[in-house]
């Protein structure tokens, strides 16, 4: 089973799909915009599934509801993110592996809004001193979340940790145990992504085109035995 880009996956299962192209936040690295985008979207949707532009759904025949059940996304789960590879550059100040923000599942709840409001305001240093360090420094909003938000006991509700093997990475990262079984995120070798997307589109759209051809065979295929102009009259 090949992978599918988010818009194809949404079409298959009847989900809403939004391609968000926000302006760069003032004084912040561009990826901080995903925090605001998620916060606002969760005011209107029961669940919001966010994927970076270099992330795709691995098994498009499985609906998100199946994954929610598999990952035990409960009414108390405010946010679910996958672990990054367990390497030194991906650890927070306490040595704990960071959660990757390239794929997130958020659930509509007043507590979720509080979490995102705290995350969005992190670089102001008001609630979390020295968080402004991550305004421009890698890994930006991801490091801010890992160093501050997930340790904030005042934020009620569960932050679900998904495995890197299931919801991050791609097959070429097998040595890191991040193969993207359900969600693939091509964070390094992005050049591998276009062929995978092309294969996915071919897999899902060519059978549909073939079906339409068979369905309308009589009106499409012309076996001409009379003057040609008679076949093109309405």
CATH number for position 59: 3.90.550.10
CA atoms of 210 and 205, how far apart (whole Å): 9
CA dihedral over 7, 9, 12, 15, signed as positive or negative: negative
CA 24 to chain centre: 19
pTM for the structure as a whole: 0.82
Residue 36 forms part of a structural domain: yes
- Contact at 8 Å (CB) between 140 and 35? no
* Residues 6+ away with beta carbon under 8 Å from 204: 4, 8, 12, 60
Number of domain units in the chain: 1
CA atoms of 130 and 128, how far apart (whole Å): 6
CA atoms of 66 and 78, how far apart (whole Å): 18
Residue 218 forms part of a structural domain: no
Closest by CA to 157, choosing from 100, 115, 219, 129, is: 115
Residue 41 forms part of a structural domain: yes
Residue 220 forms part of a structural domain: no
Q: How far apart are the first and last CA of the chain?
A: 43
Domain that holds residue 45: 6-191
- Flag whether pLDDT at 201 surpasses 70: no
Q: How many CB atoms lie within 10 A of CB 206?
A: 10
Quote helix, strand, coil % in the chain, to nearest 5.
45, 15, 40
Secondary element (H or E) of residue 101: strand 99-107
DSSP class of residue 58 equals S
Residue 206 forms part of a structural domain: no
Residue 183 forms part of a structural domain: yes
187-199 pLDDT per residue, tens: 776 666 666 666 6
Top-ranked range on mean pLDDT: pick from 23-27, 116-120, 187-191: 116-120
Residue 56 forms part of a structural domain: yes
Q: Which one has a higher pLDDT value, 209 or 182?
A: 182
Residue 104 forms part of a structural domain: yes
26-78 pLDDT per residue, tens: 899 999 999 999 999 999 999 999 999 889 888 888 899 999 999 999 999 99
């Amino acid at each position: 089973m090949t992978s599918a880009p988010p818009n194809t996956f949404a079409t298959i299962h009847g989900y809403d799909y939004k391609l968000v192209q926000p302006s760069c936040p003032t004084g912040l690295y561009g990826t901080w915009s995903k925090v605001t985008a998620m916060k606002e979207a969760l005011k209107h949707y029961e669940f919001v599934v966010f994927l970076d532009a270099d992330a795709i759904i691995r098994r498009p025949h499985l609906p998100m509801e199946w994954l929610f059940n598999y990952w035990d996304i409960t009414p108390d789960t405010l946010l679910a993110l996958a672990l990054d590879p367990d390497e030194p550059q991906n650890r927070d100040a306490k040595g704990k592996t960071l959660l990757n923000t390239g794929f997130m599942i958020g659930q509509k709840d007043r507590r979720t809004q509080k979490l995102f409001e705290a995350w969005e305001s992190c670089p102001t240093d008001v609630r979390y001193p020295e968080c402004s360090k991550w305004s421009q420094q890698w890994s930006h909003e991801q490091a801010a979340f890992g160093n501050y938000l997930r340790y904030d006991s005042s934020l009620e509700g569960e932050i679900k940790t998904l495995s890197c093997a299931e919801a991050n990475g791609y097959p070429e990262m097998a040595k890191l145990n991040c193969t993207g079984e359900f969600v693939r995120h091509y964070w390094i070798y992005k050049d591998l992504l276009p062929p995978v997307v092309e294969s996915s589109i071919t897999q899902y759209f060519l059978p549909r085109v073939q079906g339409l051809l068979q369905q309308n065979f009589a009106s499409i295929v012309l076996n001409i035995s009379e003057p040609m102009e008679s076949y093109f009259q309405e």
